[in-house]
Amino acid sequence: MLSVRGPSRRYGLAVKLTEDEPGLNDDDALSLWVGRVARTHALLEYGVANVHHLLVRPGDDSPPANSAKSFSQLVSECRKRVSGSDAYLEIREPGVGALDGARDAGLARNRVVHDMWLPDPRGDDSGPQGWNTYRRLGDHPAPYSSAALQGLTHVIDAHTLLVRTRVRVSGLFMALYALSPPEGTRQKSPKGSVQDRYIALMNDRFTLSPNGDYNVA
pLDDT bucket at 203, cuts 50 / 70 / 90: very high
Paired sense of beta strands 130-134 and 207-208, if any: unpaired
Is a pLDDT exceeding 80 seen at residue 110? yes
User: How far is it, in rounded angstroms, from Cα 27 to Cα 34?
Assistant: 10
Kindly write down the DSSP assignment for every residue of 88-123, as one continuous string.
GGGGHHHHHHHHHHHHHHHHHHHHHHHSEEEE-TT-
Pairing relation of β-strands 214-216 and 2-4? Answer: antiparallel
Please compute Rg for the chain using Cα positions. 20
Contacts of 132 (CB under 8 A, 6+ apart): 117, 118, 119, 120, 147, 148, 149, 150
Say what the alpha-carbon torsion angle 97, 101, 103, 108 is, to the nearest 10 degrees: 160
Per DSSP, helices labelled H in 16-148 are 26-55, 71-83, 92-114
| pLDDT bucket at 69, cuts 50 / 70 / 90 | confident
Average pLDDT over residues 21-40: 89
Flag whether pLDDT at 139 surpasses 90: no
